[in-house]
Amino acid sequence: MFPLDSTWNISFAGCGFLGIYHIGVASCLQEQCPFLVHNARHIYGASAGALTASALVSGACLGEAGANIIDVAKDARKRFLGPMHPSFNLVKIMRSMLYRTLPPNAHHSATGRLGISLTRVTDGENVLVSHFNSKEELVQACVCSAYIPVYCGLIPPTLQGVRYVDGGISDNLPQYELKNTITVSPFSGESDICPRDRSTNMHELRFTNTSIQFTLTNLYRVSRALFPPDPQVMKAMCKQGYKDALHFLKKNGLLNHQGPHRPLIADGEEDDIIEDDDDEEHEERLVQNEIRPIEKESAVAPSESKSNSEDHIFDHLPPRLHKGRMDRNKIIHRINNTLYLRTVEQKNG
- Active-site amino acid positions: 47, 166
The answer to whether the beta carbons of residues 289 and 300 sit under 8 Å apart is no
**Which amino acid is it at 270?**
E
CA distance 242 to 128: 27
Find, among 187, 240, 179, the residue nearest to 210 by Cα: 187
**Which amino acid is it at 132?**
F
Three-state secondary-structure class, residue 198: coil
Backbone angles phi, psi at 159, to 5 degrees: -135, 115
CA distance 316 to 345: 34
Dihedral, CA of residue 341, residue 347, residue 348 and residue 349, to nearest 10 = 100
Q: Which helix (H) or strand (E) holds 234?
A: helix 231-251
**DSSP secondary-structure letter at 336?**
H
The answer to whether the beta carbons of residues 119 and 169 sit under 8 Å apart is yes
Half-sphere exposure of 336 (CA within 13 A, CB side): 14
Strands 42-46 and 204-207, bridge-based pairing: unpaired
Helix axes 231-251, 308-315, angle to 10 degrees: 80
CA distance 176 to 10: 9
R_g of the chain, CA atoms, integer Å: 19
The answer to whether the beta carbons of residues 63 and 321 sit under 8 Å apart is yes
The answer to whether the beta carbons of residues 33 and 251 sit under 8 Å apart is no
Neighbours of 71 (CB within 10 A): 17
